[in-house]
Structure 1
Amino acid sequence: MKQHLICKRIADEAVAALIEEVQLTPKPGLVDTENNGAHNDLSISKMQNSAHSLHNTFYQMAMLSFNRQPTVEIREQFGAIGRNGEKEMFAVTENSNTHKGAIWSIGLLCSAIARRQGEVLFPQVFTDAAELANLPDQYIPKSKTNGSKVKENYGIPGAREEAQQAFPHIQKYSLPTFLQAAQIMSLREAKLSALLVLIVNLNDTCLLHRGGLDGLMFAKREAKKLLSNFSISNLKKLDDMYIKRWLSPGGSADLLAATLFVINISGIMKRGVQHGKVELHVSSKSFDY
């Protein structure tokens, strides 16, 4: 019962983070409440349906890792759950890739938190996720993805390596940026600032796939300008520029969702799970960067 309650709460928060990310508006080149960004196959309803379809995937990943040390067997089972989750995602999105990267990144964080029975510590949660990510999975499909093609063409690491390195862009950029910005801005603006700092610092494979090196550099340069002169009106102008160039920072969006997930779930202090007495704990001192 304890395991089920904790893992259900983890999955609840994972889905909520995906919904929170897509509803955040305005985002440059990304689906939000105002437009579909640089996408003709996506919409906010499709993104939300996709997020809800992944609840069982995140729950299973958490259940798998609950109070268990990572092993190759667990890594292979984790991969199988993720690939089944992708199939469920594609079934509700008419084969559009809405959250493939998020299944990997947020799924690993779900497993890391479940490993500690719901305890969230920083940076432990990221290093735990990396430990699982670095184990081999002999069943990974050999077929090439957009991300693997970009890695091959440009020699730039993607979502897999980000996790294997303990999410350095979350630890160094999006998480501290959000925490600092939230002291002087609205929560909405703090989230948008965290997204922008990811775009500036991440070699986003989605941007590379769509715009090549020129597109990536353009996206980074314009996002950096906006960070130094932040306003919602300027952000809407950046959205127009990205859409015109068909640029979408999907990798940055996935990491933003992962950032929101750990922020939200670590904020659950002494809050009992409904119909139970289980609590998720966080060390407040852990945010000392």
Structure 2
Amino acid sequence: MKALDLQPHQPNTIPVGAGLSWRRTAAIGPAKTTAIPLVDHLADLAVESLIDEAELSPKPGLVDRRSSGAHSDMTLALMHASALSLWPCLRQMAEAAEQHGQIGVPLRTALGRIGRDGEAVMLATTGGVNTHRGAIWALGLLVAARALDTRADAATVAARAGRIALIDDPAAIAPDSHGNQVRRRYGASGAREQAQQGFPAVIEHGLPQLRRSRAAGASENHARLDALLAIMAALSDTCVLWRAGPQGLQALQQGARAVLAAGGCASLDGRRQLRLLDTQLLHMNASPGGAADLLAACLFLDKTGSL
């Protein structure tokens, strides 16, 4: 156990909107703030990150405000309903981290149980459609890691989440998921390995690109699209491998790099390249769902950076 894992976490209440703007009363007199539990705030931000990812448009091959992308079984409304259904699960994960106070088997076991229960609620909400299984894994780990220390920077939170992910869950039964089948067939790493390594696609690619694009004057929508493309360019997305094989993954990564090389989504040439990538993915019926989950993780780390 590292000393960092044993340090006490911060007080478990936070002003509403902390990191954004405090909610103030309209009455004349001293300004007031309303405190809510930290675990509620983290769940709020995690769900908000999922909704922001779903709403972001135009995303190549993915559900957004324009269409269902390469998904015949998903809509934007379904993504909203799924995200909202996960609030209790994400809150419980943050609460488990507060209660256990350190990384270890008890916390990992609790997170696994809560995650499986949350997945069941999600599937009941969506009629059996897997909208956010990968996001439960990624955001659940990050919510717990952030609850352990509200002052750590994004890289430290992601590394802490990775240490949680490295612990085996004794109650987990390995499903024969698409991701596991792709790993066996192509030797590609998936969501499990991405988490265990401390989310390198987010920390080394997504977040830096988000900040670079903002600094260059891009709109928030364009900056977030650029962050998504940076993740796509770096990630061996098992969702794309499942649907389109290695050639599809290569097309995704090359297309994402072409958008960024053309100036990103804030530039006319970049948007032309983005349309080409979208057309190509739809033709292959390929949807980069792994990158979408990691964009939500990226947005969560960005939102919680000033807690």
Measure how far apart 1:233 and its partner are: 4.2
Matched, 1:69 2:102: yes
1:210-236 deviations in Å (ceiling 9; x for gaps): 101111111111221121123334323
Contact 1:26 1:232 in 2 (8 A): no
Aligned-pair CA distance for 1:238: 2.0
Which one-letter code corresponds to 2:40 in the other structure?
A: K
Separation (CA, whole Å) in 1 of partners of 2:155 and 2:58: 30
Deviations along 1:65-121, one digit per CA (max 9) or x if unpaired, are: 0161111121111101001111011011111111100100111010001112x3342
Q: How does 1:12-23 map to 2 (within 5 A)?
A: 12-23=44-55
Q: Structure 2-normalised TM-score? A: 0.84
Aligned mate of 2:230, from 167, 184, 197: 197
Query: 2:124: which partner in 1?
Result: 91
2:255 is matched by which residue type in structure 1? E
**What does residue 221 of structure 2 align with?**
188
Aligned partners of 1:266, 1:74: CA distance in 2, in Å? 23
**Distance across 2 between alignment mates of 1:72 and 1:206:** 30
1:30 aligned to which of 53, 62, 84: 62
Are the equivalent residues in 2 in contact too, given 1:50–1:93 (CA < 8 A)?
yes
The offset of 1:237, in angstroms, is 3.2
Determine which of 58, 80, 83 is the counterpart of 1:51.
83
Amino acid at match of 1:2: N
Q: Scaled by the length of structure 1, what TM-score is found?
A: 0.89
Q: What one-letter code is carried by the residue in structure 2 that aligns with 1:58?
A: L
Give the corresponding residue for 1:110: 143
The 1-side partners of 2:126 and 2:152 are apart by 32
% same residue: 39
Change beyond 3 A, Cα 1:2–1:219: closer
Listed as ranges, the matches of 1:2-17 within 5 Å are 2=12, 5-17=37-49
1:276 matched residue in structure 2: none
Question: Are the equivalent residues in 2 in contact too, given 1:10–1:62 (CA < 8 A)?
Answer: yes
What is the aligned partner in structure 1 of residue 32 from structure 2?
Answer: none
The correspondence of residues 202-281 of structure 1 with structure 2, limited to 5 A, is 202-229=235-262, 230=264, 231-267=270-306, 280=307
Are residue 135 (structure 1) and residue 174 (structure 2) matched? Answer: no
- Counterparts of 2:203 and 2:175 in 1: how far apart (Å)? 31
Partner of residue 270, structure 1: none
Number of aligned residue pairs: 267
User: Equivalents in 2 of 1:142, 1:237: separation in Å?
Assistant: 37
Aligned to 1:125: 157
Checking the alignment, whether the CA contact within 8 Å between 1:8 and 1:59 is kept in structure 2 is yes
Question: Cα RMSD (Å) of the superposition?
Answer: 1.4
Unpaired segments of 5 or more residues in structure 2?
A: 1-10, 14-35, 265-269
Q: Quote the Cα distance in structure 2 between the aligned partners of 1:266 and 1:13.
A: 11
Bigger Rg, structure 1 or 2: 2
Q: Distance in 1 between matches of 2:230 and 2:130?
A: 24
Specify which structure has the bigger relative contact order, considering alpha-carbon pairs within 8 angstroms and separated by 6 or more residues: 1
Q: In the alignment, what sits opposite 2:203?
A: 171
Instruction: Tell me if structure 2 keeps the 8 A contact 1:181–1:190.
Output: yes
Contact 1:24–1:33, Cα closer than 8 Å, also in 2: yes
Kindly indicate whether the alpha-carbon contact (under 8 Å) linking 1:30 and 1:250 is maintained by their aligned counterparts in 2: yes
2:194 to 162, 174, 177: 162
Deviates more, 1:95-104 or 1:226-235: 226-235
Unaligned ranges ≥5, structure 1: 268-279, 281-289
